[in-house]
A and B are shown apart, each in its own frame.
Chain A
Amino acid sequence: MIDKRVATLADAVAGISDGATVLIGGFGDSGVPVELVHALLDQGARDLTVVTNNAGAGESDVAALIRERRVRTVVCSYPRSMGSIWFEELWRAGEIGLELVPQGTLSERMRAAGAGLGGFFTPTGADTLLAEGKEVRTIGGRPHVFEHPLPGDVALVKAHRADRWGNLVYRKAARNYGPTMATAATLTVVQVEEFVELGDLDPEAVVTPGIFVDRVAEVAAS
């Protein structure tokens, strides 16, 4: 029998090792798997490479991981948000690395990893600082930059509902990076607001099929 549900958040993040690359969903406050990130904070893994759109804000979730010196490098598109004080402080002190990636390239690099591709050429970033050191090829008369796939050891994703096979539906724009990250990690861990019975999710509406999901924890809606 397949049952990807786990009883606790601690079970959900068990076994994540030091030095892991962790893909964390979310865009601003929307779709951030806050409780899973806090469980990772409690779990203790350090020296992490965190791939996420923003670099956290305030004292919660990703910002807390950074504050506690658990993150070696952030790979993101927009580390400067209202209240991203911890990232900015450590960045100025030279205590955290930053790989800045244009947002669409960030998402597509993870898609490439999940799709088993060796990378892709994109016009995004051509002729800019973010193309420095990268292979450039002219395709259709336009310069394109080669971008490598970006796989994760772990993905932490927030969805709305799941069944025990790990099929997922999301809520509104909280979906953002979730479906792509779920495909791109060796271990995909999801938090949902509600478990439902197998068969209760409309198969026409399932966004992430359970094949991409390894563990699901239920977290009461905040």
Chain B
Amino acid sequence: MIRPISDVAMARRVARDIPDGAYVNLGIGMPILVGDVVGPDKEIVYHSENGILGMGPAPAPGEEDRELINAGKQPVTLLPGGSYFHHTDAFVMMRGGHIDISVLGAFQVSESGDLANWITDLATMPPAVGGAMDLAVGAKRVLVMTTHTTRDGRPKLLPRCTYPLTAARVVDRVYTDLAVLDVGPAGLVVREMAPGLTRAELQSVTAARLTFADDVGELDPH
């Protein structure tokens, strides 16, 4: 039976793959959840594209500072050891390969690791890209966190993206509410699956052709 795991369970699974001491950029949307579930046993330095390293959680009500916001324009705090720098340096860190892990949301991911996460509708809304393209090309490891299908059940993991690309051949690993998949030289390799899900069921909601690791693990639904 297809029973997806929760967003928080997905975030916990991503967090498990972030090592102590990593410099990490969390994309807007679902990836932000990862910051809430990384345990206190790890020291992670969060980067924000508007010039912050060592970004902390949201401030207490009343303590907000409009000059201290994250990429999603939400108020944040700075941890001891944190620093401010200008925009060009923020992107030197990203494009220059200094960020260890970038966690991004996605509209679509292709079996060769192409990412589409910036636009679906070119006609009625002005296009907006922000830092998505820089994050996708620059980080040492690009992790995608997304639901396995769209809200109306269409596959997001495809042989080829149909939406405009953010970057080509950049995604290393995809975390969905049904599986963890690596982008390998021969396409998507399933590493873990949600409890009770069969391989045929997973393939039925995936347009890209899947191969399965020798030792497919079980995703923790909690």
Chain A interface (Cβ < 8 Å from any Cβ of B): 27-31, 55, 77-82, 87-88, 91-92, 98, 100-105, 107-108, 110-111, 122-130, 170-180, 207
Contact = CB atoms under 8 A, between A and B. Distances in A.
Interface residues of B, number: 40
B167 A107 contact: no
A30 B129 contact: no
B134 interface: yes
Is chain A's interface secondary structure helix, strand, loop, or mixed overall?
A: mixed
A27 B126 contact: no
Contacts, number: 139
Q: Which has the most chain A C-beta neighbours within 10 Å: B50, B124, B127, B167?
A: B50
Contact of B66 (A29, A88, A176, A178): A29
A27 B50 contact: yes
Contact of A104 (B73, B86, B95): B95
B86 A80 contact: no
A52 B128 CA distance: 13
Contact of B51 (A28, A124, A173): A173
A207 B133 contact: no
Contact of A77 (B66, B124, B130, B137): B130
A100 B85 contact: no
Contacts of A123: 95, 137-138
A138 to B, nearest CB: 13
B131 interface: yes
A176 to B, nearest CB: 5
A25 B214 CA distance: 53
Nearest to B69: A30
B65 interface: yes
B137 A177 contact: no
Given A30-B67, A128-B164, A175 B131 contact: no
Interface of B: 48-52, 65-69, 73, 78, 84-88, 90-91, 94-95, 114, 124-134, 137-138, 164-168
18 contacts: A30-B50, A55-B126, A87-B126, A91-B126, A98-B127, A100-B127, A100-B129, A102-B131, A102-B133, A105-B133, A107-B88, A108-B88, A122-B95, A124-B134, A127-B168, A173-B48, A173-B52, A180-B86
B106 to A, nearest CB: 15
A78 B128 contact: yes
A97 to B, nearest CB: 11
> 8 closest Cβ contacts across the A-B interface?
A104-B91, A104-B134, A28-B73, A127-B168, A174-B67, A179-B86, A80-B128, A103-B131
B85 A126 contact: no
A140 to B, nearest CB: 12
A80 B69 contact: no
